[in-house]
Amino acid sequence: MKRKQRTEILIEGARELAARMAQVIADRYEVKLVEQPSQGLVMVKVRETAKRSLFYLGEVLVSECKVQVEGSMGIGLVKGHDHELAYQLALIDAAYQAGLEETRGWDQALLDEEARIDAMRSQAFAAIAKTKVDFETMDVD
Amino acid sequence: MGYVAVKGGTLAIEESLKRIKFERIKQGKVLDVSRIEGGMRGLIDQIMSESSLYDETLAALAIKQAEGSPEEAVFLLRAYRSTLPRKHYSRAVHTREMRVERRISASFKDIPGGQILGASVDYSHRLLDFDLMHETDEDAARWLKAFADDLGSVNEAGRPPELMKVMDYLIEQGLMISPADDNTEPDDVTRKSITFPASRSQKLQVLTRGQTGTVTSLAYAVIRGYGALHPTVGELRVGSVPVCIDDPLGSGSDDEDSYYIGEIKVTEAEMLMSAAVAKEQGGKELSFEIGYGLCYGQNETKAIAMGILDHSLEQGDSRFPTQDQEFVLYHIDSVESTGFMSHLKLPHYVTFQSKMNDVRKTKMGAAASRAGEKEEVEEICK
């Protein structure tokens, strides 16, 4: 599974999933903390639609952490103040980068969680769709 | 009298700072930051947009510390932001990927996907609800349960539908030309001061972080006559867009290999204006142009106003103040404008002393001149 899909599931999904995966790695491997979880900023670049040019919308507060597992670097990066999740994401990222065998069994759990996230988002949209306007065309004599 | 340099006031300032804390808590009641975050969505969105820093919790804290003053809260967040390292730049965010919570068009009734009102005060009666005076957490929990029961269980599977953009619909209908992607790297006014003529990226960045009231008032002036536009909302959408960054350790820029860091809520306004386009052999053809507005949070008035000002600034006719880049972009920032007004309260003893000396000299000169004239008259009359 590619990183974008994986990180979205881990950030938007249940917190236990990231915690469980990170714990497996922490229990079995030596984890070197390269950069303590800390606050930083990400500047958001946007594609506007009038002339299709790029501009900076503003910055987003993020938590970031870097670890090394089996010689591979992992980065954990998440919006807001969440040092614990940043650390867990870094561990999981390092595990994938190192190609650890534990990661091979994770894809199904991630896909199941993705289906749950999609269903939640669909339900949320279905609820919002209740505010969709049903126009009635008035008769004109 | 010579100029006098003075120092002092340390104790007075310390006592003044105690007074500001006293004013905040003198009723013995303390606002919980989580309650501000839960119940002051509008103010939080405004503060995040004007401070150009997206974080609801920090915005709530700034609102608490500033006792609800937007200008002070924005100042606090801008100051805090300057202490943090900027670690990354995101990949280009596309609003087509927005998870829409609200989406309307004032131009077309039958837009693909429909008019979705979402959460809006536009259709409320604006009557004060006195029941809120005694609202409790239990009341809120009961209401939420009833609301959830009313929605019922929706067995939705798969991803929610992607709503077609009104602009794409116009392009499809041949009523608008689709511009090619302009991949020029944006300028950043937080790193390098704006220069004139400003680039498009500078203009949009200054507008999106502008003070809500100022952006709105200047856009209002555009429509009232100090500009030359009467726009229509082509599409207004509110929702969440994903933010991703490229792998800082990798060399490629594979979208699928990027890091997803979360979603941010934004409001986007595409304002439609009709415009004459020159054709071959001196002919003209009517077409549509877009004024673009995008800002953090649900800030609909500001996004619409930004769209109007974007189009106005693109015209660049200096007869209209709202098309003058320097006039608009130099005066629209909250910290810059309120900061300048505030600095007028700080000691200007030396400057004012100099002015007083000038006034005295002029008056003395005038008196001397009047005395001279009087002597002259007396001389003649002798």
Render pLDDT for A95-135 as a digit per residue (tens, 0 to 9).
999 999 999 989 999 999 999 999 999 889 999 999 999 88
Q: Which helix (H) or strand (E) holds B340?
A: helix B334-343
- pLDDT at residue B319, rounded to an integer: 86
DSSP B271: E
Percent of chain B with pLDDT over 90: 65
Render pLDDT for B100-114 as a digit per residue (tens, 0 to 9).
999 999 988 888 888
Q: Which two tokens stand for residue B263?
A: 């979603």
Across the strands, what pairs with B277?
B285
Q: Do A122 and B249 touch (CB under 8 A)?
A: no
- pLDDT at residue B47, rounded to an integer: 98
Task: Name, in order, each residue with C-beta under 8 angstroms of A35's C-beta and a sequence gap of 6 or more.
Answer: A64, A65, A66
CB A3 within 8 A of CB B258: yes
- Over residues B44-62, the mean pLDDT reads 98
| Residue B228 pLDDT grade (very low, low, confident, very high; cuts 50, 70, 90) | low
What is each CA distance from B7 to B10, B355, B357, in whole angstroms? Answer: 9, 21, 22
Of the partner residues B53, B102, B268, the one whose CB lies closest to the CB of residue A59: B53
- Over residues B83-94, the mean pLDDT reads 96
| Residue B275 pLDDT grade (very low, low, confident, very high; cuts 50, 70, 90) | confident
Name every chain B residue with its beta carbon within 8 A of the beta carbon of A124: 160
Render pLDDT for B136-163 as a digit per residue (tens, 0 to 9).
999 999 999 999 888 876 666 666 777 8
- pLDDT at residue B155, rounded to an integer: 60
Length reported for chain B = 382
- pLDDT at residue A76, rounded to an integer: 97
pLDDT above 90 (res B278)? no
Of the partner residues B87, B154, B179, the one whose CB lies closest to the CB of residue A41: B87
Q: Do B157 and A122 touch (CB under 8 A)?
A: yes
Q: Do A59 and B118 touch (CB under 8 A)?
A: no
- Over residues A47-75, the mean pLDDT reads 96
Nearest CA in chain B to A10: B260
Q: What gap in Å lies between CA B17 and CA A8, rounded to an integer?
A: 45
Residue B180 corresponds to which amino acid?
A: A
Residue B165 corresponds to which amino acid?
A: K
Task: Name, in order, each residue with C-beta under 8 angstroms of B31's C-beta and a sequence gap of 6 or more.
Answer: B64
Render pLDDT for A19-32 as a digit per residue (tens, 0 to 9).
999 999 999 999 99
pLDDT above 60 (res B335)? yes
More confident residue, B245 or B352: B245
Helices (H), B32-131: 33-39, 41-51, 56-65, 70-81
Of the partner residues A47, A123, A125, the one whose CB lies closest to the CB of residue B92: A47
Return left, alpha or beta for B113; rule: phi > 0 is left, psi -120 to 50 is alpha, else beta: left
Model pTM? 0.91
- pLDDT at residue B370, rounded to an integer: 78
- pLDDT at residue A24, rounded to an integer: 95
Interface test with B, best of A61, A63, A64 (most B CBs within 10 A): A61
pLDDT above 70 (res B118)? yes
Q: What gap in Å lies between CA B357 and CA B1, rounded to an integer?
A: 8
Q: Which two tokens stand for residue A110?
A: 């991630």
Nearest CA in chain B to A45: B92
Render pLDDT for B192-227 as a digit per residue (tens, 0 to 9).
999 999 999 999 999 999 999 999 999 999 998 877
- pLDDT at residue B23, rounded to an integer: 95
Q: Where are the beta strands (DSSP E) in chain B?
A: 53-54, 86-89, 99-104, 232-245, 259-278, 284-296
- Rounded mean pLDDT of chain B? 90
Render pLDDT for B370-380 as a digit per residue (tens, 0 to 9).
777 777 767 76
Q: Do A7 and B260 touch (CB under 8 A)?
A: yes
ipTM attached to this prediction: 0.95
Nearest CA in chain B to A5: B256
Q: Which two tokens stand for residue B237?
A: 């959408």
- pLDDT at residue B3, rounded to an integer: 55
CB B64 within 8 A of CB B32: no
- Rounded mean pLDDT of chain A? 94
Residue B340 CB neighbours (<10 A) = 11
CA B258 and chain centroid, separation: 29
Of the partner residues A56, A73, A79, the one whose CB lies closest to the CB of residue B262: A79
CB A17 within 8 A of CB A10: yes
- pLDDT at residue B2, rounded to an integer: 54
Interface test with B, best of A44, A85, A136 (most B CBs within 10 A): A44
Buried b (16+ CB within 10 A) or exposed e, B20-57: eeeebeeeeeebebeebbeebeebbbbbbbbbbbbbbe
Instruction: Give the count of alpha carbons within 13 A of B375, CB side only.
Output: 6
* A&B contacts, CB < 8 Å: 228
- pLDDT at residue B156, rounded to an integer: 61
